[in-house]
Structure 1
Amino acid sequence: MRKLALSDDILLSVDKPARYIGGELNSRDKRLEDVDIRFVMCFPDVYEIGMSHIGMQIIYDMLNKREDIFCERLFSPWVDLDKILREKNIPLFSLESQENVKDADILGITLQYEMCYTNILQILELSQIPMYSKDRGEEYPIVIGGGPCSYNPEPLAPFFDIFYIGEGEVVYDKLLDLYKECKKNNLSKHEFLRKAAKLEGMYVPEFYEVSYKEDGTIASFTPKYEDVPSVVHRVVVQNMDTVSYLSKPVVPFIKVTQDRVVLEIMRGCIRGCRFCQAGNVYRPQREHSLEYLINYAKTMLDITGAEEISLSSLSSSDYSQLDKLLDFLLEYTKDRGINISLPSLRIDAFSLDVMSKVQDVKKSSLTFAPEAGTQRLRDVINKGITEEDILSGSMEAFKGGWNKVKLYFMLGLPTETEEDIKGIPLLCEKIAENYYSIPKDQRIGKVSITASSSFFVPKPFTPFQWAKMETEEEYLRRAHLVKDTFREQLNQKSMKYQYHDAEVTLLEGLMARGDRKIADVIVNAYKNGAMYDSWSDQFNMEYWLKAYEQTGIDPGFYTLRQRDLDEIFPWDFIDSGVTKEFLIREWKTAHEDKISPNCRQQCLGCGARKYNGGVCFEGKN
């Protein structure tokens, strides 16, 4: 029996002790003395969140298929265990071996969202690893960051040795082989990092120097050595079916946030929404074959015993073989009581044919994302759907047996007006009227429409990266205007409205758009008490306000200022696939209230084709 890092009395004193014991079905067990590399992979949030993330499961499975590597998992301890570890001076440990994280060769940390940044410092401190990479000697692990937030790694640059820019399946084998070679030849950490910096997709922050102008903007960003690349090119999988699918997913002991099988059907998106970072940095669209997905689905459902399977992509409606995949899933799950979830569907593509196929499947809420309340603003953001699409699509859904609809919007989008703001409840009212126009004997009770609005954050590598944000007071004014307008509608009792936290949004914007100076803000906020900032019951803005005072940083410089087109961004040294020229064209087109065709209609020359052998989608040039 494995020896646990925590005693029984500690485990019994914390909430959900199963978070910390490992040993789940399909978790790996290797002897440390039998492997060359101990790789601890961390998701800096609680177990239930991290174990819901398909990307972590994929990399865990992929690395453990190598006999020379033991990949273990690590999650942020909840605040109760955090306190105990500090009081008793117990070093943080990995789940599989229950050994100290600080003794690993490599600590890989996934960067999924900005509000987990203080938890990264928690992981390092509890592991008894120095926060700053410059203070870590040869005895400490190499710390690598990867994931969506690595497309602007600069606010975290002082804490990491390497950032992996791109999709995890591409370069990890080369990087780990290089580490083995350097370890075998007794090369120093610095020598390994010099070699790693030459691999495609690898960014080593300490090898780059940043200088600033008097106004605080970046003057230059240059490598310190001639053999270090001035531009870091992201890496992507070209042929999705070459990716070894997740054959043995770890089955958690406790219920996780998304307790379902996730079937990734494709990557990338053809749509070109101007606010969407993922839609740009994961270009071009690449699909799994139908055969691959059928085998994958069978394996995952049989192993996990899950009661739901979710089709994962940025725009599931655009998967070319969606009908055939659904035919298989409906037949395979028919007698097994398994629900099929279809997220990321475009309301215009949610045809009666697709809905009729899931008639016999439990109907949960339909989720659509119009993003804006008026057609003008939907054109500005290049959403590519009309009000007619929304109303006809929702009517088909109602006729198909649904009576619950969730709608997602954004407030604070570039060029937004009072009319656009009020358009959110007015659009919801039209949808409700649609439902009640159906004969009463054909309805299923009352319609339930839930509208949610987040506040817009201009993300790197989008056409809106030059845009400014609004103040907290202005965001709240707009949200209250939406709420008040909902109360004026005839069908207000059938509609609910909720909006995100404006303080958290502005903090997210600071970290998404920040440079290396923001690292000091993060450290000070963490030392003040900030942790689990994405959790509303843990978030405390006072910690951050104090950090601004301690560092002299004005957050408005990063959030409330519209950028000039020639300004150097902190992330400009990264080649994300789309060119800056393309993004500028789209920024200007947005201000003309015009839409751009999607990739299947016309190639706009975004630059992504060079990453896929000159091919963008479905084998067409």
Structure 2
Amino acid sequence: MRKLALDDEILLKIEKPARYIGGEVNSVMKDRNEIDIRFAMCFPDVYEIGMSHLGIQILYDMFNRMEDVWCERVYSPWTDLDAIMRQEKIPLFALESQDPIKEFDFLGITIQYEMCYTNILQILDLSGISLLSSERGEGCPIVIGGGPCAYNPEPLADFFDLFYIGEGETVYRELLDAYRENKKAGGSRRDFLIKAAQIEGIYVPSLYSVTYKEDGTIGSFTPDHPCAPAVIKKQVVMDMSETTYPERPIVPFIKVTQDRVVLEIQRGCIRGCRFCQAGMLYRPVRERNVETLKEYAYKMLKNTGHEEISLSSLSSSDYTHLEELVTFLIDEFGGKGINISLPSLRIDAFSLDVMGKVQDIKKSSLTFAPEAGSQRMRNVINKGLTEEDILTGAEQAFQGGWNKVKLYFMLGLPTEEKEDMEAIAVLADKVARKYYEIPKDQRNGKCQITASSSFFIPKPFTPFQWARMYSNEEYISRAATVKHAFQNQLNRKSLKYNWHDAEVTVLEGVLARGDRRVGPAILEAYRSGCIYDAWSENFDYEKWLKAFEKTGVDIAFYNERERDADEIFPWDFIDIGVTKQFLRREWERAMKGEVTPNCRQQCSGCGVARWKGGVCIEGKN
């Protein structure tokens, strides 16, 4: 019988104690005496968010299939338990064994978004692990980071021992074997880090040095040790059907954000939107075998009892066998009370027909992502959507019975003018008009068009990585321009407009494109009380401003300047396959408003031809 790390008195004091007790259906228990390596897998956010992340489930399953490894989970304690653990000096623990994280060999942290950076420090702090990697002793867990934010690891370089660049199914076995062998030979912590640096895809920040020019830009980034490579190459799984996949995913006791079976149908995207980091990072496109997916659907539904199955990818409409798979799922499970969800569909007749089969139109709304209001701006960002596509899709949706549509846009895109901002409201109104053109007796109640705009953040490894951002005040002004335009529309009573928090955008911009000099500001913000920055009720912009001021971080330097063509970026030492030359070429095409065809129409020579077996198997670098 496991002894819980928290006693009954504490569990009665906190919100949702089921977040911390473990023991869920399909969670894995092992005998400590029969394993060599203990791995704590962490999602640095609240349990409900972390339990919904597919990547954690995949790695958890992969590690626990290894006889010599026991992988357990840990999430950020919510603020109520955080306070109690500090007061009572309770160390952070893993869900499965309830053992302290500090007793583990590895602490692996997935870094999915910039606003969780202070939560990473919370995890380390509550675990009793030194926040700075340089201060960790021999018995301390190896702290390793991965996920999309690891593609610019530099703001977090002081806090991590290792970063894993790429997809987790590739070199983890080699890394764990190197750790075991080093431990058996009596090697030191540094000995292991040097061995790890020689494994392709592993980045050890402590083995590299950075110099800066007088203007503050990077002068050089070089390895200090002969075993550390100058370039870290992203690790990619090419045969998706041969990789491990969780047939028995963990079933939480409480409702989580994504309470369903998830089928990952493919990785990568052919579209080439110039703002989209994921579309560049996860190239080339690799599809899962449709017959394998059918088998997974059976097994996962049987092993979980879930009543919904979701198809996961960056662009589900581009999966070659989507119609066959959806038809199978409807025929097999539609009559058994199993709902089917299809995120990331494009606006076309096929997608709408598919959605019409699987969604209850009385309960759901359709989501379109034009990203920009004007055609000029959609060409700049290479969205690949015309206004005719959008309006035709909306018309077909309304004729199919939908009456609620969500439209997603971005403000602050490169070359954006006032007319482009106002075009967001004009487009939303045109969508509403399509509804009211339907004969009244054929409408499904009142039409509701909800437009939302986030503020654009130029992410690493995108054609827009050279772009500038704006100040908090400028973003608010742009949102006000759009709001005013909505008030002038004919169908304004059917229109609603929301916008993202500009302060969060400014902070995220600094963290996304920052270098090692940003690390001390993250540490200072955490020490001043910043955690759960992604949660509006906890976000404190003033504390972050004070942290930047105290540590000498200039927001304008990181956000409000366009980068020179030859500037060295903090992430330039990472090879994701897509070349910097291609990204610069796409930036220049964007400035001319030129559209680049998608990968299936024409190879644009992005560089991923080096990974044979994806959509792009030929091309030039």
Per-residue CA deviations over 1:123-171 (Å, capped at 9, x if unaligned) read 0011011000000010100000000000000000010000000011111
Tell me, yes or no, if the aligned pair for 2:149 and 2:512 is still in contact at 8 Å: yes
SS at match of 2:454: strand
Give the corresponding residue for 2:126.
Answer: 126
Q: Which moved more, 1:514-523 or 1:337-346?
A: 337-346
Shift in Å at residue 72 of structure 1?
0.4
Tell me, yes or no, if the aligned pair for 2:424 and 2:482 is still in contact at 8 Å: yes
Give the corresponding residue for 2:315.
Answer: 315
Q: Aligned pair 1:107/2:100, yes or no?
A: no
Shift in Å at residue 348 of structure 1?
3.2
What does residue range 295-334 of structure 1 map to in structure 2 within 5 Å? 295-334=295-334
Distance 2:333 2:484 in 1: 44
Q: Aligned pair 1:617/2:590, yes or no?
A: no
Tell me, yes or no, if the aligned pair for 2:274 and 2:464 is still in contact at 8 Å: yes
SS at match of 1:41: strand
Q: Structure 1 residues 451, 350: closer, same or farther in 2, change over 3 A? A: farther
Tell me, yes or no, if the aligned pair for 2:460 and 2:512 is still in contact at 8 Å: yes
What does residue range 89-238 of structure 1 map to in structure 2 within 5 Å? 89-238=89-238
Distance 2:170 2:158 in 1: 25
Tell me, yes or no, if the aligned pair for 2:530 and 2:543 is still in contact at 8 Å: yes
Distance 2:76 2:419 in 1: 44
What does residue range 250-289 of structure 1 map to in structure 2 within 5 Å? 250-289=250-289
How many residues are treated as equivalent by the alignment? 619
Per-residue CA deviations over 1:77-103 (Å, capped at 9, x if unaligned) read 011111111111111111111011011
Distance 1:509 1:40 in 2: 30
Shift in Å at residue 349 of structure 1?
5.7
SS at match of 1:465: helix
**What are the ranges of 5 or more consecutive residues in structure 2 without an aligned counterpart?**
none
Tell me, yes or no, if the aligned pair for 2:269 and 2:284 is still in contact at 8 Å: yes
Amino acid at match of 2:384: G
Tell me, yes or no, if the aligned pair for 1:448 and 1:494 is still in contact at 8 Å: yes
Shift in Å at residue 397 of structure 1?
1.2
Q: Structure 1 residues 177, 13: closer, same or farther in 2, change over 3 A? A: same
SS at match of 1:107: strand
Q: Aligned pair 1:293/2:283, yes or no?
A: no
Distance 1:334 1:282 in 2: 32
Distance 1:297 1:310 in 2: 10
Amino acid at match of 1:616: G
Shift in Å at residue 496 of structure 1?
1.3
Distance 1:126 1:565 in 2: 43
Amino acid at match of 2:614: C
Shift in Å at residue 360 of structure 1?
6.5
Distance 2:359 2:246 in 1: 30
Q: Aligned pair 1:73/2:73, yes or no?
A: yes
Shift in Å at residue 480 of structure 1?
1.1
Amino acid at match of 1:583: L
Distance 1:212 1:468 in 2: 20
Give the corresponding residue for 2:514.
Answer: 514
Shift in Å at residue 227 of structure 1?
2.2
Q: Structure 1 residues 67, 502: closer, same or farther in 2, change over 3 A? A: same
Amino acid at match of 2:416: E
SS at match of 2:143: strand
Q: Which moved more, 1:484-493 or 1:271-280?
A: 484-493
Per-residue CA deviations over 1:407-449 (Å, capped at 9, x if unaligned) read 1100000000111100111101001000111111111101111
Tell me, yes or no, if the aligned pair for 1:355 and 1:400 is still in contact at 8 Å: no
Q: Structure 1 residues 620, 604: closer, same or farther in 2, change over 3 A? A: closer
Give the corresponding residue for 2:31.
Answer: 31
Give the corresponding residue for 1:571.
Answer: 571
Amino acid at match of 2:583: L
Give the corresponding residue for 2:242.
Answer: 242
Give the corresponding residue for 1:443.
Answer: 443
SS at match of 1:377: helix
Q: Structure 1 residues 355, 48: closer, same or farther in 2, change over 3 A? A: closer
What does residue range 423-442 of structure 1 map to in structure 2 within 5 Å? 423-442=423-442
Give the corresponding residue for 1:41.
Answer: 41
SS at match of 1:158: coil
Tell me, yes or no, if the aligned pair for 2:61 and 2:244 is still in contact at 8 Å: no
Amino acid at match of 1:401: G
Tell me, yes or no, if the aligned pair for 1:118 and 1:530 is still in contact at 8 Å: yes
Give the corresponding residue for 1:399.
Answer: 399
Give the corresponding residue for 2:64.
Answer: 64
TM-score by length of 1: 0.98
Shift in Å at residue 351 of structure 1?
4.5
Give the corresponding residue for 1:470.
Answer: 470
Give the corresponding residue for 1:365.
Answer: 365
Distance 1:373 1:471 in 2: 22
Give the corresponding residue for 1:415.
Answer: 415
Distance 2:290 2:410 in 1: 34
Shift in Å at residue 535 of structure 1?
0.1
Tell me, yes or no, if the aligned pair for 2:339 and 2:358 is still in contact at 8 Å: no
Q: Structure 1 residues 507, 359: closer, same or farther in 2, change over 3 A? A: closer
Distance 2:212 2:616 in 1: 44
Q: Structure 1 residues 332, 362: closer, same or farther in 2, change over 3 A? A: farther
SS at match of 1:464: helix
Distance 2:163 2:198 in 1: 13
Q: Which moved more, 1:580-589 or 1:296-305?
A: 296-305
Give the corresponding residue for 1:499.
Answer: 499
Shift in Å at residue 357 of structure 1?
3.2
Distance 1:3 1:503 in 2: 43
Tell me, yes or no, if the aligned pair for 2:609 and 2:617 is still in contact at 8 Å: no
Shift in Å at residue 352 of structure 1?
5.2
Give the corresponding residue for 1:555.
Answer: 555
Tell me, yes or no, if the aligned pair for 2:203 and 2:232 is still in contact at 8 Å: yes
Tell me, yes or no, if the aligned pair for 1:463 and 1:584 is still in contact at 8 Å: yes
SS at match of 1:121: helix
Q: Aligned pair 1:595/2:595, yes or no?
A: yes
Q: Which moved more, 1:136-145 or 1:363-372?
A: 363-372
Amino acid at match of 1:117: Y
Per-residue CA deviations over 1:482-508 (Å, capped at 9, x if unaligned) read 111111112112121111100001100
Give the alignment's Cα RMSD to 1 decimal: 1.3
Amino acid at match of 2:294: I
Amino acid at match of 2:98: Q
Amino acid at match of 1:426: V
Shift in Å at residue 616 of structure 1?
3.4
Shift in Å at residue 307 of structure 1?
2.3
SS at match of 1:159: coil
Shift in Å at residue 353 of structure 1?
3.9
Tell me, yes or no, if the aligned pair for 1:348 and 1:385 is still in contact at 8 Å: no
TM-score by length of 2: 0.98
Shift in Å at residue 620 of structure 1?
7.6
SS at match of 1:12: helix
Distance 2:605 2:372 in 1: 27
